[in-house]
Amino acid sequence: MSFNTTFGRTGREVTRVGLGGEGVLRTFGREEEALAVIGESVAQGIGYFDSARVYAGSEGYYGLFWPEHPSQRAGAFQASKSASRDRSGALADLETTLSMMGLDHLDLWQIHDLRTWQDVREVEAPGGALEAFLEAREQGLTRHIGVTGHHDPAVLTHAVQSWDLDSVLLPVNPVEGLLGGFLTSTLPSARERGIAVVGMKVLGAGHYLNPRAGVTPELLVRYALTQEATLVTVGCSNPREVQALARTGREFQPLPEKEEARLLEAFRPYARKLAYYRGVI
């Protein structure tokens, strides 16, 4: 299966795995390590790079890397996010993001961490953040816009069904395969509309790993891609983890049904507890 795929209805080509904004990127003052991880991602052919205004020094790390590697930037898909709920705050965030990264546009700008119906009302109200995102796309400050969420599937599904978006970032892991919601409502709604689906929380911040039981990062990435996510993002802390992520993306084959069923059964007794990123369920 190809390492590349199409980013929803945009027609843009992206890699099946992307460098997440967690790991060493969500730190301050670790420039050497962060630049090594970004550089290894580029060297491995990974083309999707995640960040956010609130992810510590992540935007600044990219701001150190891209100006020194303009040819690699030309082929990269750079994403970031704003958690502001009003138009003016979001536009201010975008201005800061572009300045920090040394860029004149993003490939994807996302409404960050949509949690509650109050968030929805604020974002889509007159003067809300959605206006800023639509304006930024129209003006070319970002090529595409999206929404992210891991708190309430119903809230995120509303955004996917109601807003003019290009992507959605949501949790894709065995816990979600058992609980339903994000994978049974939000993901199918996105695919129906041609909206790209980006998977996060794939490793559960490392909590889901159990090498003795065969639950490895590679297996969890394969599970996420088997759920028909367009691509998955994983935070990395060193070049070795980047290499493993890229290899899994290049060699991806869907999990056989029996293997997927065994993985879900291993998580079943702990599913609700392991959904630490959700609201009350």
In a domain, 149, yes or no: yes
In a domain, 276, yes or no: no
In a domain, 71, yes or no: yes
In a domain, 76, yes or no: yes
In a domain, 240, yes or no: yes
- pTM here is 0.97
In a domain, 273, yes or no: no
In a domain, 278, yes or no: no
pLDDT of residue 281: 60
In a domain, 109, yes or no: yes
The predicted-structure confidence for 79-119, as pLDDT tens digits, reads as follows: 999 999 999 999 999 999 999 999 999 999 999 999 999 99
The predicted-structure confidence for 20-53, as pLDDT tens digits, reads as follows: 999 999 999 999 999 999 999 999 999 999 999 9
Task: Give the type of residue at 5.
Answer: T
Domain that holds residue 87: 4-268
The predicted-structure confidence for 256-275, as pLDDT tens digits, reads as follows: 999 999 999 999 999 999 99
Q: Residue 136 maps to which CATH number?
A: 3.20.20.100
| Total domains present in the chain | 1
pLDDT of residue 74: 87
Residue 279's pLDDT band, with cuts at 50, 70 and 90, is confident
